[in-house]
Amino acid sequence: MTIDWLTVGAQALNFLVLVWLLKRFLYGRVVRAMDRREAAIAERIRAADARMVEAEAEARRHREAREGLEAQRERLLKRAREEADDLRRTLDDEVRGELAEARARWRAELEREQAVFLQDVRRQVATHFETLARRALAELADAELEAQMARVLIERLGRLDPERKDDLARRASGEPLLVRSAFELPVAVRRALTAAIHDAVGKEVAVTYERTDELACGLELRAGGQSLGWSLDGHLDALERRLAEGLARVAGGGRGDAHP
Amino acid sequence: MRISPDQLVLWAWGPVQLNATIVCTWTVMLVLVLGSHLATRRLSTATRLTRWQNLLEVLVSGMREQIREVSQQDPGKYLPFVGTLFLFIAASNVLAVVPGFTAPTASLSTTTALALCVLVAVPLYGIVERGLGGYLAVYVKPTVFMLPFNILGELSRTLALAVRLYGNVMSGTVIAGILLSLVPFFFPVVLQLLGLLTGLIQAYIFAVLAMVYIASATRTHGGH
């Protein structure tokens, strides 16, 4: 166990040189590299934090914008819904009005057609009745309808009370008495009728004859707005009334079926 | 049988002798410095590292952590001294398995030189850290009567450092030599492996003890 002091000195020097060399080539470099890396990582973390903060702010802005848009959408939807409701109500009212108008039109048309129909019925009934009555009288009683009707009118003239006769005379003083008939009166009948009128009212009264379609199978004596006569009008009116009632009943039943 | 590599003189010029201890020390220095230089030529500061750089960083940061643990201070200023103690002793002991190479630490001259370096470094660090008065005050604590004992303790622990390392490494080399002459081949190999472990442990012990001494000199309160 010897100590060579020269070697000790050399080794101490060697060691110090080694300390310096390793400090230069190893520790300094490695520690610097680690420090730089740590700094770089810290910087990246800091940048990431900053970006995170920025991203959060951005996300918050987006969220707020989205909520704003949602609110706006709700408002727009609400307004659109209200407008749609208004429009629907308006359209409903319009449709209801149009329906009511259509119904009124339809009813008016129906009534007009009904009136036309009744008129037609009335005319045909009168025509057929006249034909039937004429034929029945001719075949069964060997009598003419016109003559019979003139006879009835003559009888009624004869049965008139004096006031009525005076009234007729007064009315007929200014203008001729008008005898209206639904058909052409034969000359004999006219003559008989004229004579009866002269007997009842006075001989100075002028009598004129007129054929008209207004009368349904009848005969009428008209003087200054007053008339005396006989026709089927009254019966036809009653018939028309009953027909109209029947039609109304049918129409009412039909409506009831259609709208329970 | 040669006990110390000091005795193997390779070249002499007057009183100056170039013995195996110095040559092997230079070899270790060359290996360490060249290896460090090659490994640290292109250090990356990015997050992707080469394996060599990773190994170096593990080594250096491990040493820094050890120094920080022992000294409870920033390891920066102690790392070159203590780290080099560890690397030099460890490299010397590990290279001892190379045939023809003798560990410089098997020479009492080398271990004495290292212990003397520690002996000088302790007051140097202490004075730098606490000032001359603050450092010298440690020797008269707790009383002035302790001064001779403290000085004696300082010297004896230096001696212990030197002899402990020398004894361990030298004994390993000597025992391997003796066994090699008695039982060749297998048995000495096992002992060599054991010597590797012992060598590394001795390097660690030497460096940590040096650090403990330095820390006790630089710490404001308390001793070791």
User: What tens digit of pLDDT does each residue of A241-251 get?
Assistant: 888 888 888 87
Please count the other Cβ atoms lying within 10 Å of the Cβ belonging to residue A44: 11
Which of A185-189, B40-44, B77-81, B107-111 holds the top average pLDDT? B77-81
Q: How far apart are CA B33 and CA A18, in angstroms?
A: 8
Q: Which two tokens stand for residue A97?
A: 């009005």
Judge whether residue A223 has pLDDT over 70: yes
Mean pLDDT of the A42-57 span: 95
Judge whether residue B185 has pLDDT over 80: no
Which of A174-188, A232-246, B146-160 holds the top average pLDDT? B146-160
Quote the ipTM score. Answer: 0.89
Determine, for residues A25 and B4 on separate chains, whether the beta-carbon distance falls below 8 Å: no
Q: How far apart are CA A84 and CA B186, in angstroms?
A: 103
CATH number of the domain located at residue range(s) A144-247 in this protein: 3.30.360
Q: Where are the domains of chain B?
A: 5-218
Q: Where are the domains of chain A?
A: 144-247
Model pLDDT, residue A254: 52
Model pLDDT, residue A94: 94
Beta carbons of A42 and B69 less than 8 angstroms apart: no
Could you tell me what percent of chain A has a pLDDT over 70? Answer: 96
Q: How far apart are CA A47 and CA A158, in angstroms?
A: 134
A235: left (phi over 0), alpha (psi -120 to 50) or beta: alpha
Mean pLDDT of the A47-59 span: 96
Is B143 in a helix, a strand, or coil?
A: coil
Nearest residue on chain B to A39, alpha-carbon basis: B45
Judge whether residue A260 has pLDDT over 50: no
- Residues of B within 8 A of A38 (CB-CB) are none
- Spell out the residues 6+ positions from residue A34 whose beta carbon is closer than 8 angstroms to its own: B57, B60, B61
- pLDDT tens column, A120-150: 888 888 888 878 888 888 888 777 777 888 8
Would an 8 Å CB–CB cutoff place A12 in contact with chain B? yes
Query: Chain centroid to CA B220: how far?
Result: 26
Mean pLDDT of the B66-94 span: 93
- pLDDT tens column, B117-162: 999 999 999 999 888 988 888 888 888 898 999 899 888 988 888 8
Buried b (16+ CB within 10 A) or exposed e, B158-176: beebbbbbbebbbebbeeb
Helix (H) or strand (E) holding A13: helix A5-22
* Long-range CB contact pairs, B133-137, < 8 A, 24+: B135/B217
Mean pLDDT of the A114-119 span: 86
Gyration radius (Cα) of chain A, Å? 61
Determine, for residues A34 and B61 on separate chains, whether the beta-carbon distance falls below 8 Å: yes
Judge whether residue B208 has pLDDT over 90: yes
Judge whether residue B196 has pLDDT over 80: yes
Would an 8 Å CB–CB cutoff place A41 in contact with chain B? yes
Cis bond before residue B142 (omega within 30° of 0): yes
Q: Are strands A177-181 and A207-211 parallel, antiparallel or unpaired?
A: parallel
Q: How far apart are CA B45 and CA A239, in angstroms?
A: 122
